[in-house]
Amino acid sequence: MMITINIIGTGNVAWHLANHLAKNSECILLQIAGRSKEKLERFKHLTKEVVVIQELKQASITIIAVADDAITRVASQIPEMDTLIVHTSGSVSIDRIPQKRKGVFYPLQSFSKHDHVDFSAIPICIEASYEEDVQRLYNLATRFSTKVHTIDSHQRKQAHLAAVFVNNFTNHCYTIAQELCEKDNIPFELLHALLEKTAQKAIDHAPSDVQTGPAKRNDKEVIKEHLDMLQEEDHKSIYNTLTASIISHYGKKL
């Protein structure tokens, strides 16, 4: 069954969705809408037409791929038509879309503009206000991935919160680690094998079963030495917070 799609947005998520849809023979990417003519230029080869929101025509599904705080405002500008309107946010409720036929199409992944994205390995979380639209979203999601999950807004927000810990917070820890290496002319590459091993162990086992390190052992001497070595106060604060949390989780006292 052919699915017609409109996309609103010109950011990273819109870019990767549009590139995937343009290659799918079972989907027609009718229009991509945005405010910036300059940004829309790079989408022209992927769709039949680039437009402003007010010029959108009817499609099976209209995907809003914009910043979280702009979703309601953008949805309210869509011309009245019989289309399922969905957003792509992990942290925004379905109810932020004012139309009756509404839903969520959330690829649970971090997107950067120049990344190669293999959607087949990315979970797609879907939700809709009507059962027949859940099926429409499922049909679209399976054009992207074999990992399609129907979850409600509360579950999706919880998954997004968990994703912040898995992705955003850990990446910030990687940044701190890189800075610590560079401070003493140590190549960050030295940590690549450990970084990969840590992630793989968390996939292969329950993360709580493979925790290691001085905090897990409650090794006060090493912990104190590490804190003395850290010069930035925010680094000390992060180290202290994570250490205390690990010690607490494994039932030991500082």
What is the DSSP annotation of 73-91? HHHHTSPS-S-EEEE--SS
- The whole-angstrom separation of Cα 127 and Cα 121 is 20
Q: Provide the domain count of the chain.
A: 2
CA distances to 42, 120, 244 from 236, in Å: 44, 40, 12
Length of the chain measured in residues: 254
What is the model's pLDDT at position 227? 97
Find, among 54, 30, 28, 32, the residue nearest to 41 by Cα. Answer: 32
Kindly state whether residue 20 falls inside one of the protein's structural domains. Answer: yes
Q: In degrees rounded to 5, what are phi and psi of residue 107? A: -80, 120
The pLDDT value given to residue 230: 96
Shared-domain flag, residues 93 and 55:
yes
Q: Which of 88, 119, 151 is the last residue of a domain?
A: 151
What's the CA gap between 102 and 188, in Å, rounded?
46
**168 and 146, same structural domain?**
no
pTM exceeds cut of 0.85: yes
Would you say residue 115 lies in a domain?
yes
Residue 36 and residue 109 in one domain:
yes
Please report, for residues 20, 198, 234, 241, the alpha-carbon distance to residue 227 in angstroms, rounded to integers and kept in the order given: 47, 23, 11, 12
Locate tokens 């402003």: which residue? 52
Boundaries of domain holding 212: 156-249
Whether residue 122 is found in the same domain as residue 56: yes
Position 254 scores a pLDDT of 45
CA dist list (Å): 69 to 73, 92, 206: 8, 9, 35
Residues 23 and 97 in one domain: yes
Residue 42 belongs to some domain of the structure: yes
**Burial class of residue 66, CB neighbours in 10 A (0-12, 13-18, 19+):** buried
Q: Which of 99, 127, 103, 17 is nearest to 65 (CA)?
A: 17
The structure tokens listed for 140 are: 């679209």
Asked if residue 141 belongs to a domain, the reply is: yes
167 and 231 part of one domain: yes
| pLDDT tens by residue, the chain, 254 residues | 789 999 999 999 999 999 999 999 999 999 999 988 889 999 999 999 999 999 999 999 999 999 999 999 999 999 999 999 999 999 999 999 999 999 999 999 998 877 888 999 999 999 999 999 999 999 999 999 999 999 999 999 999 999 999 999 999 999 999 999 999 999 999 999 999 999 999 999 999 999 999 999 999 999 999 999 999 999 999 999 999 999 999 985 44
Domain boundary among 151, 182, 204: 151
189 and 133 in one domain?
no
* 254 in any annotated domain: no
CATH code for the domain in which residue 40 is found: 3.40.50.720
* Same domain, residue pair 19 and 111: yes
The answer on 169 and 92 residing in a single domain is: no
Q: Which residues of 111-149 are buried (b: 16+ CB within 10 A; e: fewer)?
A: beeeeebebeeebbbbbbeeeebbebbebbbebbbebbb
Alpha-carbon span 178 to 160, nearest angstrom: 26
Co-location of 97 and 219 in the same domain: no
* CATH code: domain of residue 225: 1.10.1040.20
Assess if residue 231 is contained within a domain: yes
Q: By the 8 A CB rule, do 88 and 146 touch? A: no
Does the residue 19 lie in any domain?
Answer: yes
The angle, 0 to 180 degrees and rounded to 10, between the axes of the packed helices 170-183 and 233-249 is 130
Residue 53 lies in a domain: yes
Residues 115 and 38 in one domain: yes
Query: Which among 131, 151, 171 is the end of a domain?
Result: 151
For residues 95 and 192, state if they share a domain.
Answer: no
